Amino acid sequence: MPIPTEPVGSIPRPPELIAGMQQFAAGRISRDQLARLQDAATRDTIRRFEATESPVISDGEQTKPSFATYPIHGLASLAPDGVTIPFADGHTRRLPRLTAGPFRYQTYADAYLVAARAHAHVPVKQAVIAASALSLLYPEDGIRGYPRDAFLQDLVREAETDIRRCLAAGAHVVQIDFTEGRLAVKLDPTKGLLKEFVDLNNRVLKRFTADERRRIGVHTCPGGDQDSTHSADVDYAELLPTLFELEATNFYIQCASEPDRGRALRLVKQHAKPGQRMFIGVTDPIDPEVETPEQVRDRVLEAAEYLPLDRLGTTDDCGFAPFSDDTSTDRDTAFAKIRSRVAGTALAARKLRV
């Protein structure tokens, strides 16, 4: 397809998998039984993803506990009372708190990628969590015998390893989920926290060559969980200039749900750097209404008024279920939206004669 199109990543889990995860947590089914449910969900997700004719797919994050905490699932040195993230509808998500070092990943994302590629017939992308998100695990009052600088050194090394293993395992692209970027501006309007986050992520990205960074991207959105967001009220003008300081090639940018898409696109045009490709969000996972291919086409044509065609791609605004227990969107709706994204992007490409 002349205009590339890719998903962000997550797809709602089947009800039987969600029930199985709850039963496993309660000790009512075995790990082998859970693994069979996870494998079945992954196979079905890939089959349905490929049926949308998407040229690039993901495994839908079917076996991740969440997009944010997969690397630390099972880590013993965690307490449940970490940073709380409030959403606009009043619900919250809470990160754990690190209680001791050294910090080590328990799971690297290439494990998901290898399992997906065994069933896929088209390129597979792999999402990983940003080092900046995991930096929130470290408590403000510190950890005796494990200073923050030592933690950050361990974190940068582990985040690099996570990406590098995915590249080596054949990922079409590795997408760094950086949904905390916009939230950082809400928490600290001086943008000091956002700059800290970008600097930390760049410590990871600078460990890769220019060729390797062509297969590395960054996703930004205001959160998307249970049909709510955590930072959609933050002006993009406060985020984008610093966001594009990240030394990645591909940027997956929520846009379909922006109240003024034209203004958002102008800001992207103004601040994106040469060589960076912008995948613009053309479907809104939070909106239960499925976009038509024609609506997607028109959003792509709108984006093409601002961005050069050789640096334009399309995507979904966010994952459809970044947390494993999110049932706010069903699988049929998610795949219908993806199908419209693919078809609408193709319609726009024909209209633009590219």
CA distances to 37, 135, 157 from 103, rounded to whole Å, are 30, 11, 10
In sequence order, the β-bridge partners of residue 225 are 228
pLDDT tier for residue 159 given thresholds of 50, 70 and 90: very high
pTM of the model as a whole = 0.96
For residue range 282-301, list pLDDT tens digits in order: 999 999 999 999 999 999 99
For residue range 322-348, list pLDDT tens digits in order: 998 888 999 999 999 999 999 999 999
| Sign of CA pseudo-dihedral 268, 269, 274, 276 | positive
Give dist(CA 44, CA 208) in Å, integer. Answer: 34
In sequence order, the β-bridge partners of residue 281 are 315
> For residue 2, what pLDDT is reported?
87
> For residue 277, what pLDDT is reported?
98
For residue range 184-230, list pLDDT tens digits in order: 999 999 999 999 999 999 999 999 999 999 999 999 999 999 999 99
% of the chain exceeding 90 in pLDDT: 97
Nearest to 8 by CA among 345, 276, 316: 316
Mean pLDDT of 105-133: 98
Domains and CATH numbers, the chain: 15-352 (3.20.20.210)
pLDDT tier for residue 354 given thresholds of 50, 70 and 90: confident
Mean pLDDT of 103-127: 98
Q: Can you state the percent helix, strand and coil of the chain, rounding each to 5?
A: 45, 15, 45
Map 101-149 to HEC letters.
CCCCCCCCCHHHHHHHHCCCCCCECEEEECHHHHHHHCCCCCCCCCCHH
Give dist(CA 253, CA 13) in Å, integer. Answer: 24
Question: 152 pLDDT exceeds 90?
Answer: yes
Q: Where are the alpha helices (DSSP H) in 190-330?
A: 192-205, 210-213, 236-243, 261-271, 293-304
User: Tokens for 324?
Assistant: 């494993």
% of the chain exceeding 70 in pLDDT: 100
Mean pLDDT of 133-157: 98
Mean pLDDT of 83-98: 96
> For residue 1, what pLDDT is reported?
54
Bridge-based pairing state of the strands 78-79 and 97-98: antiparallel
